[in-house]
Chain A
């Protein structure tokens, strides 16, 4: 590792000064500055919504900052388009995989800057050969000519990495690159980062996993609520320091788990299977219990949960609710039976952008608020008011369009929507994904309260602290199967991670 990156003798490869960026209703970044140095890895940490990805998008020309300057080699520049940023030597692996399912792997890597022959036409032979070489470098053993849609999420991510390497970059940005990768691939990525460092690239590395930050980063920068709250050398901080900077208070208070007396089984799932998505799922959920489902992204948890409410059809299996066998063929039947699912993809499956808050909330409960098929607006407003205020929603009015709310508040509307149906069992899939710390606390508090009132809760989460903080029991899934069951007393982060990743021997990294 280089020791002297902080000294002023080395000039930054790229520097941001006084960058601000607002979205309607949200100030995503306010006056942040950041410098990246050649041959050095800077870790950017911060809570969900702290503004990390926004910064990445400004660095790669996708967003334009409201204020502030970007300097490359000490000259001021602007990145009006993604192409301009790439030409200036800034490349990124984005948090979402932004790739094209219908195009080949090779083309995904080179789209926008494909090699041309002397007539100015795309040279496919060279393109495929170059792609194969890049994939090799990214540690992926892939045929560059197959279509992207035939790949799993992890391999898609490798393609995204290869794409980032396809431009001759001086700055490489990685926004949570390991979130979707398996153990082996993560290690290959680490090796790749070492090589990039040796080549003198400046690297910005965003991650929520502290073990890897301490393993590969040289410097750190911490964001909170869109502002920079600390930076320095990794060697000078501890994990606790970082967390304190990120959150602004001690972590414990975030999970207000109440002690609840667990009752008899409410929901029994036996022998659930699906030809391609999951297999042999059996478990019981008891009254007052919060059952955590942990796993890496793509473990098949969401797919399985959706089969419980009739969106995905299982090929075999049975469920019992309060001892009675139930057949559920559609979400409408699930809601009537008292099982509700708060989906993971808020934008696609949860919130109905373009409709007012109260209409979102009452949609699954229309049969209660209406009279013989005719709407009763007064009832609707009453119901919406009750549940949104219990979740501490912040909005101008109840007929405000949901699309104009902040992400966290949208999530509250979504949760309110399903709670308003008065369920027996509520399944929350990544309930706090992308929401700020205050809302998170409100959601967690409310979850606790629901359990105390005798509801049964299934909480799917990929966040270890949330799983550990909120669950009475944890089930771990990997590749569509249950690979571990843990009671609260024996829960440790390490056992969870190991089970989820399928590692037998103790891993060498530090557990969070």
Chain B
């Protein structure tokens, strides 16, 4: 009973039920190998959702994440085509640095100019994506222009799973440590939970938000490389509209849009839930056209459930009620 009240447990159960339903019509879907494939397919969404989580926890939002991803991915591909010999880790580092700098732009505008986060990232969303066009004249970078090493890394098999999966697992582990064991992670919670009190605690609210944006930017940069190398193509519109999927994953995962509430587990589960739906629908022969309506419905239900769980129980003044 207590377990059921827990948001994350509920999400695990929901995902389990979903898998069971799919398995009834298509048993091969729940074969370990296929589940691993679904996980691999969701890896990028997980990484992005974790970055978005940090930002949402501080009572902000990052609508520019997908555009940031696209710009960094394009930059990585351009670096690769210009210097095919450059070691891939350096390319990744460059993408993450660029991503973090774009995040810093968001963070600085929020921190130093006090512009509402939604306006800032709405603006940078169009600017970042526009920059890709300016940078490339709209030209695509196709598979044959990328070096083999560039394309190979995410699909390289290590101990039975692709590097992409391992990478996302590493990011999850890292975020676990950051969120629960470092002052910065705890500051995210504090700043979103009660910005006023955070000041009294000696936490610089603006700076914490700035770091949240840096983090989400860096993860978007990493995802940019992963996306481009995995799909072996880079163009202006990659991941267009994906920012809403990222936010949806967070919302489903129980991260409160009002800040201060949420967990790494929640974000991961939210992303996985969406990933399972995305991968299961074509398999069980539900028209791909129904997918959008289904994920919309799921989001609304998730919000309603989370809101019920969050609803203040009210301060208990009466003694007898406190005893119950």
A interface, CB within 8 angstroms of B: 60-62, 81-86, 94, 98-103, 107, 111-112, 114, 120-122, 124, 149, 152-153, 275-279, 298-300, 303, 479-481
Enumerate chain B residues within 8 angstroms of A82, measured Cβ to Cβ.
199-202
The 7 closest A-B pairs by CB, nearest first: A83-B202, A82-B202, A98-B197, A121-B181, A98-B200, A300-B317, A480-B317
Enumerate chain B residues within 8 angstroms of A114, measured Cβ to Cβ.
183, 186
Instruction: State how many angstroms separate the Cβ of A302 from the closest Cβ of chain B.
Output: 10
Pair B317/A101 contact, Cβ less than 8 Å: no
Instruction: State how many angstroms separate the Cβ of A188 from the closest Cβ of chain B.
Output: 20
B interface, CB within 8 angstroms of A: 177, 180-183, 186, 189-190, 193-194, 196-197, 199-204, 260-261, 312-322
Pair B317/A277 contact, Cβ less than 8 Å: yes
- Report the separation of the CA atoms of residues A511 and B229 in the bound assembly, to the nearest whole angstrom: 78
Enumerate chain B residues within 8 angstroms of A61, measured Cβ to Cβ.
202
- Report the separation of the CA atoms of residues A81 and B200 in the bound assembly, to the nearest whole angstrom: 9
Enumerate chain A residues within 8 angstroms of B200, measured Cβ to Cβ.
60, 62, 82, 94, 98
* Also in contact, A99 and B197, with CB within 8 A (given A81-B204, A82-B202): yes
* Also in contact, A102 and B260, with CB within 8 A (given A277-B314, A279-B318, A480-B317): yes
- Report the separation of the CA atoms of residues A100 and B186 in the bound assembly, to the nearest whole angstrom: 11
Enumerate chain B residues within 8 angstroms of A100, measured Cβ to Cβ.
189-190, 193-194, 197, 260
Pair B202/A277 contact, Cβ less than 8 Å: no
Pair A103/B190 contact, Cβ less than 8 Å: yes
- Report the separation of the CA atoms of residues A479 and B318 in the bound assembly, to the nearest whole angstrom: 5
- Report the separation of the CA atoms of residues A99 and B312 in the bound assembly, to the nearest whole angstrom: 17
- Report the separation of the CA atoms of residues A487 and B201 in the bound assembly, to the nearest whole angstrom: 46
Pair A112/B318 contact, Cβ less than 8 Å: no
- Given A98-B201, A480-B318, 11 more contacts at CB 8 Å? A62-B199, A98-B200, A101-B194, A112-B203, A124-B180, A277-B314, A277-B316, A278-B317, A279-B318, A279-B320, A303-B315
Enumerate chain A residues within 8 angstroms of B204, measured Cβ to Cβ.
81
Pair A299/B317 contact, Cβ less than 8 Å: yes
- Report the separation of the CA atoms of residues A111 and B318 in the bound assembly, to the nearest whole angstrom: 31
16 contacts between A and B (CB under 8 A): A82-B201, A100-B190, A100-B197, A101-B193, A101-B194, A102-B193, A103-B190, A112-B203, A114-B183, A121-B177, A122-B182, A153-B315, A276-B314, A277-B314, A278-B317, A300-B318
- Report the separation of the CA atoms of residues A103 and B203 in the bound assembly, to the nearest whole angstrom: 15
* Also in contact, A303 and B183, with CB within 8 A (given A100-B193, A103-B189): no
* Also in contact, A107 and B186, with CB within 8 A (given A98-B196, A99-B197): yes
Enumerate chain B residues within 8 angstroms of A99, measured Cβ to Cβ.
194, 197
Enumerate chain B residues within 8 angstroms of A102, measured Cβ to Cβ.
189, 193, 260-261
Which interface residue of A86, A102, A277, A303 has the most chain B CB atoms within 10 A?
Answer: A102
Taking a contact as CB atoms closer than 8 A, the residue among B183, B194, B312, B314 that contacts A112 in the complex is B183
Pair A303/B317 contact, Cβ less than 8 Å: yes
Enumerate chain A residues within 8 angstroms of B194, measured Cβ to Cβ.
98-101
Enumerate chain A residues within 8 angstroms of B315, measured Cβ to Cβ.
152-153, 276-277, 298, 303
Enumerate chain A residues within 8 angstroms of B193, measured Cβ to Cβ.
100-103
- Report the separation of the CA atoms of residues A406 and B315 in the bound assembly, to the nearest whole angstrom: 31
Instruction: State how many angstroms separate the Cβ of A55 from the closest Cβ of chain B.
Output: 15
- Report the separation of the CA atoms of residues A107 and B198 in the bound assembly, to the nearest whole angstrom: 13
B178 — nearest CB in chain A belongs to which residue? A121
Instruction: State how many angstroms separate the Cβ of B267 from the closest Cβ of chain A.
Output: 16
Pair B183/A122 contact, Cβ less than 8 Å: yes
Pair B190/A111 contact, Cβ less than 8 Å: yes
* Also in contact, A276 and B199, with CB within 8 A (given A101-B194, A103-B193, A122-B186): no
Pair B319/A479 contact, Cβ less than 8 Å: yes
- Report the separation of the CA atoms of residues A112 and B183 in the bound assembly, to the nearest whole angstrom: 7
- Report the separation of the CA atoms of residues A277 and B312 in the bound assembly, to the nearest whole angstrom: 13
Which interface residue of A100, A101, A103, A121 has the most chain B CB atoms within 10 A?
Answer: A100
Instruction: State how many angstroms separate the Cβ of B196 from the closest Cβ of chain A.
Output: 7
Instruction: State how many angstroms separate the Cβ of B35 from the closest Cβ of chain A.
Output: 32
Instruction: State how many angstroms separate the Cβ of A447 from the closest Cβ of chain B.
Output: 27
Instruction: State how many angstroms separate the Cβ of A244 from the closest Cβ of chain B.
Output: 34
Which interface residue of A83, A121, A152 has the most chain B CB atoms within 10 A?
Answer: A121
Pair A275/B317 contact, Cβ less than 8 Å: no
Instruction: State how many angstroms separate the Cβ of B260 from the closest Cβ of chain A.
Output: 5
Enumerate chain A residues within 8 angstroms of B321, measured Cβ to Cβ.
275-276
Pair B317/A298 contact, Cβ less than 8 Å: yes
Enumerate chain B residues within 8 angstroms of A107, measured Cβ to Cβ.
186
Enumerate chain A residues within 8 angstroms of B320, measured Cβ to Cβ.
279
Instruction: State how many angstroms separate the Cβ of A198 from the closest Cβ of chain B.
Output: 28
- Report the separation of the CA atoms of residues A85 and B202 in the bound assembly, to the nearest whole angstrom: 9
Instruction: State how many angstroms separate the Cβ of A71 from the closest Cβ of chain B.
Output: 21
Enumerate chain A residues within 8 angstroms of B180, measured Cβ to Cβ.
122, 124
- Report the separation of the CA atoms of residues A403 and B317 in the bound assembly, to the nearest whole angstrom: 32
A300 — nearest CB in chain B belongs to which residue? B317
- Report the separation of the CA atoms of residues A279 and B319 in the bound assembly, to the nearest whole angstrom: 10
- Report the separation of the CA atoms of residues A152 and B313 in the bound assembly, to the nearest whole angstrom: 12
Enumerate chain B residues within 8 angstroms of A103, measured Cβ to Cβ.
186, 189-190, 193
Enumerate chain B residues within 8 angstroms of A111, measured Cβ to Cβ.
186, 190, 201, 203
A81 — nearest CB in chain B belongs to which residue? B202
Instruction: State how many angstroms separate the Cβ of A347 from the closest Cβ of chain B.
Output: 12
Enumerate chain B residues within 8 angstroms of A152, measured Cβ to Cβ.
315-316, 322
A57 — nearest CB in chain B belongs to which residue? B200
A97 — nearest CB in chain B belongs to which residue? B197
- Report the separation of the CA atoms of residues A114 and B193 in the bound assembly, to the nearest whole angstrom: 18
A110 — nearest CB in chain B belongs to which residue? B186
Pair A277/B186 contact, Cβ less than 8 Å: no
- Report the separation of the CA atoms of residues A300 and B316 in the bound assembly, to the nearest whole angstrom: 9
Enumerate chain A residues within 8 angstroms of B312, measured Cβ to Cβ.
149
Taking a contact as CB atoms closer than 8 A, the residue among B181, B202, B261, B318 that contacts A276 in the complex is B318
Instruction: State how many angstroms separate the Cβ of A350 from the closest Cβ of chain B.
Output: 19
B204 — nearest CB in chain A belongs to which residue? A81
- Report the separation of the CA atoms of residues A94 and B199 in the bound assembly, to the nearest whole angstrom: 12
Instruction: State how many angstroms separate the Cβ of B284 from the closest Cβ of chain A.
Output: 39
- Report the separation of the CA atoms of residues A81 and B202 in the bound assembly, to the nearest whole angstrom: 6
- Report the separation of the CA atoms of residues A82 and B204 in the bound assembly, to the nearest whole angstrom: 9
A275 — nearest CB in chain B belongs to which residue? B321
Instruction: State how many angstroms separate the Cβ of A512 from the closest Cβ of chain B.
Output: 25
Instruction: State how many angstroms separate the Cβ of A148 from the closest Cβ of chain B.
Output: 10
Enumerate chain B residues within 8 angstroms of A481, measured Cβ to Cβ.
318
Enumerate chain A residues within 8 angstroms of B197, measured Cβ to Cβ.
98-100
Pair A277/B199 contact, Cβ less than 8 Å: no
- Report the separation of the CA atoms of residues A98 and B186 in the bound assembly, to the nearest whole angstrom: 16
Enumerate chain B residues within 8 angstroms of A279, measured Cβ to Cβ.
318, 320
- Report the separation of the CA atoms of residues A488 and B1 in the bound assembly, to the nearest whole angstrom: 53
- Report the separation of the CA atoms of residues A299 and B315 in the bound assembly, to the nearest whole angstrom: 11
A92 — nearest CB in chain B belongs to which residue? B200
- Report the separation of the CA atoms of residues A152 and B318 in the bound assembly, to the nearest whole angstrom: 11
Enumerate chain A residues within 8 angstroms of B183, measured Cβ to Cβ.
112, 114, 122
Enumerate chain B residues within 8 angstroms of A60, measured Cβ to Cβ.
200
B203 — nearest CB in chain A belongs to which residue? A112
Taking a contact as CB atoms closer than 8 A, the residue among B189, B261, B318 that contacts A277 in the complex is B318
